[in-house]
Structure 1
Amino acid sequence: MSKLDSVAVFCGSSEGNHPLYVKEAQRLGAYLAEMNITLVYGGAQVGCMGAIADACLRAGGRVIGVIPEKLRNVEIAHHQVSELHVVKTMHERKAMMADLSDAFIALPGGAGTLEEWFEVFTWAQIGYHEKPCSFLNINDFYNPLLAMLDHTINEGFMRSTYRDFIITEKTPETLIAKLEAHQPRNVSKWS
């Protein structure tokens, strides 16, 4: 049994160029079900999004999808999930996913994945929530981004304490264990 009730996962509506991305998305979905953690995700049945949802459902897990009306047909809404919320905007999607989740994980993905993850990470920095933000660093996908974040610290645009907010692991099991062990840190951005 997990300390986490639900986890939001941001990931691509594409499968990527390496089969490992889909395989690990499926592995995370199955592990969330095994740990009795509800998957909250973008509501699509394609790409890594569909892979994680299907794996979680196959393993007996609960899946909540949140998809904007405009993307319902483009990303092909997944109507077999436990709950599917169709919202008007991307803003509503992100707010609902954040409200429904105890933690955030980014799998490999494109600009949308990054934008969704960076929004919740920024919210953590300015104190809107104390939920852990993490990367499942499949195939070292996030190494260049992590190096860029280190660069922002070196150039004086981000505090090193905020870099410590980011949990990065290579396997679902170690990542979930770290998310469960997360202790909120109260760091004032402006002091």
Structure 2
Amino acid sequence: MHVCHTTYFLKVSRRLGLVYGGGNIGLMGLVSQAVHRGGGHVLGIIPRTLMSKESPEMLIYRYYSMHDLVVVPQLTGDTIGEVKAVADMHQRKAEMARHSDCFIALPGGYGTLEELLEVITWAQLGIHDKPVGLLNVDGYYNYLLTFIDKAVDDGFIKPSQRHIFVSAPNAKELVQKLEECVPTNDENIAKLKWEVVEPQQLVGFIALQTSEIAL
């Protein structure tokens, strides 16, 4: 990602905070450092199993206490903002969504594509109505946008749902679009809410332990 995009994130960081997947390497590390230097609040959410892999400065210390193995996450060195450790990838994405007001996907690989399409799908299902933005630097996502347009033409995606997300070639234009974004009011979209189901509501079914996910 070009320096100018990071610089713009630095400029807007005084009024915008950052919620991201944790770590201090790659684009995630670059943007989190820019926002942190600009005075914006940074919250990194990362699964415990990935802490030592994505953030080399996060060390896991193990010690024995009363014959039990205890794992305690310790942060050393120059950390970036606030770090929240979670159990797994599913909880990571749910917590990121819960703490965010909008979503921005930078150029990335499989993980980025999976997270981008998931938040778009959540919006399609009515689980959230938060803006979703795609930073299409140097046309990186042109083929993805072409594929989505074809899916609309072939009837797999409704034309109204094509506008669930916005895209722009630079950070300044993308932030402006997100600020002006109006939630898609599609009457055919199911309004779903992920929450704990009370046992008494499960008539005729075995009550399973569930985790509350607030979006």
Short-chain TM bin: 0.7 to 0.9
2:6 pairs with one of 1, 16, 26: 26
> In 1, Cα distance between the equivalents of 2:183 and 2:91?
25
- The residue number in structure 1 matching 2:182 is 183
Which residues in structure 2 correspond to 1:33-182 (within 5 Å)? 33-34=13-14, 36-76=15-55, 80-182=79-181
Larger Rg: 2
Residue aligned with 2:53, SS: coil
Aligned-residue sequence identity (percent) comes to 40
Post-superposition shift, 1:62? 1.2
1:17 matched residue in structure 2: none
Give the counterpart letter for 1:114 in structure 2. L
2:56 and 2:116 map into 1 onto residues whose CA distance is: 21
Do the aligned residues in 1 keep the contact of 2:24 with 2:80 (CA within 8 Å)?
Answer: no
Cα pair distance change 1:45/1:22, threshold 3 Å: farther
Encode CA deviations 1:43-100: one digit per residue, 9 max, x unaligned: 1100001000111112222111000112111111675232100101100000000000
C-alpha distance in 2 between matches for 1:157 and 1:70: 37
Aligned-partner residue type, residue 179 of structure 1: L
How large is the RMSD of aligned CA atoms in angstroms? 1.7
CA distance in 1, matches of 2:53, 2:172: 32
For residues 7 and 130 of structure 2, the distance between their equivalents in structure 1, rounded to whole angstroms, comes to 23
TM-score with structure 2 setting the length: 0.74
Q: Distance in 2 between matches of 1:48 and 1:146?
A: 21
Q: RCO greater where, 1 or 2, for CA within 8 Å and sep 6 or more?
A: 1
Secondary structure of the residue aligned to 1:135 is: strand
Does the Cα contact within 8 Å between 2:160 and 2:184 map onto a contact in 1? no
- 78-87 or 51-60: bigger deviation: 78-87
Instruction: Measure, in 1, the Cα distance between the counterparts of 2:113 and 2:92.
Output: 15
Query: Given the superposition, is the C-alpha separation of residues 183 and 173 from structure 1 closer, same or farther in structure 2, using an over 3 Å criterion?
Result: same
SS in 2 for 1:73: helix
Indicate conservation of the 8 Å contact 1:22/1:47, yes or no. no
The number of aligned residues is 169
Deviation, structure 1 residue 146: 0.4
The runs of 5 or more residues in structure 1 that have no matched partner are: 1-20
Q: Give every structure 1 segment of 4 or more consecutive aligned residues whose post-TM-superposition deviation is greater than 4 Å.
A: none
Other structure's SS at 1:65 match: strand
- Local SS of the residue matching 1:151: helix
Inter-partner Cα distance in structure 1 for 2:4 and 2:46: 22
Code of the aligned partner of 2:129: E
- Measure how far apart 1:26 and its partner are: 2.1
Residue 28 of structure 1 and its aligned partner are, at CA, apart by: 4.5
